[in-house]
Amino acid sequence: MAATKLNFVTLDVFTSTPYLGNPLAIVHVPKSLEDTLSHEQKLKIANEFNLSETVFLHDNEDLDTPIRIDIYMVDRELPFAGHPTVGSGWYLLQSRYPSRETITLRTRAGDIPVVRGNNVGKVQLQVPTNFRIHQPLVHPRVKLLQPRLVAKDYLNGMDGPEPLVSIVKGMTFLLVELTSEEALARLQPSSERITVSAIGDWGHFVGLYAFFQRADGVVRTRMFDGTLEDPATGSAASTLAGYLARQRGEGRHVVEILQGVEMGRRSEISVLVDVGVDGEISTIQLGGGAVQIMEGSLVVPIP
């Protein structure tokens, strides 16, 4: 069996400090392998990196057309995720095409314009949204599997329903508000993933996004997918910011989110949400920076 080598880089996203933020692998897919690198091979590569997400970046010489990226967890492909898109946009604008001010990424969820942010070293992207607030969910297992928390740690108590919100179809989060940062610190990974059959295809992925709103306006968060804790989750941050902005009403709302502290991977996520006079979200913009950590090549068997 023949083999080929693919080049890759790794970044830490939502930080400018190496070894903080959320690690991301970006694997270059040359034009010659665009139609031959299989879903199964991508899963194996993502498993080898063993990060929360790995991006497969399809090389494209025509930068005036969208640049395709495929986003993979170790066991599935995702239609959209925040830190892979921010990381990919940052990498392309900062390292590959420093003279450009904007590019467009093509994801399963749609095309995403990325521009240089107002802050040096950061980028800002318009999140593809098909925003939906589902029926509030009472999911007893979620709280029963947190033995270090008690009823007073939850804003809605042990038995109260929690918001279930999708940023796009197939990317959904159970938003659980806590009453203190100390309670947030006592959360732990669970032996079970959240499943919600009642929402059909909207529930392809359902994560737990716990949060506490500090007095200074910063929202402290943690995201769990079963045994996995994610240092920075742009899709969850966008979902939560959209939900909070809708509660606040018409206007432009800036939501600053701090995640990953308990993991030693402090991540700073900025979300800008515009809410129209009808109370509906018009746009969600996600911002952050990154820093490159590694580069190299990997071997892929070609049938």
Shared domain for 260 and 138, answered yes or no, is: yes
- Average pLDDT (200-213) is 96
pTM to 2 decimal places: 0.88
pLDDT of residue 1: 54
Shared domain for 91 and 137, answered yes or no, is: no
Shared domain for 230 and 161, answered yes or no, is: yes
Answer whether residue 284 is part of any domain: no
Answer whether residue 285 is part of any domain: no
Shared domain for 84 and 207, answered yes or no, is: no
Query: pLDDT by residue (tens digit) across 238-250?
Result: 999 999 999 999 9
List the CATH number of the domain containing 162: 3.10.310.10
User: Is residue 301 classed exposed, middle or buried when 0-12, 13-18 and 19+ CB atoms within 10 A define those classes?
Assistant: exposed
Answer whether residue 218 is part of any domain: yes
pLDDT of residue 81: 87
Shared domain for 64 and 97, answered yes or no, is: yes
Shared domain for 207 and 73, answered yes or no, is: no
- The share of the chain scoring above pLDDT 90, in percent, equals 84
Shared domain for 225 and 110, answered yes or no, is: no
pLDDT at 53 over 60: yes
Shared domain for 61 and 189, answered yes or no, is: no
Query: pLDDT by residue (tens digit) across 278-300?
Result: 999 999 999 999 999 999 999 98
Total tally of structural domains belonging to the chain: 2
Which positions are catalytic? 53
Domain interval for residue 26: 5-123+290-299
Shared domain for 109 and 178, answered yes or no, is: no
Rounded-to-10 torsion of CA 9, 225, 67, 267: -60
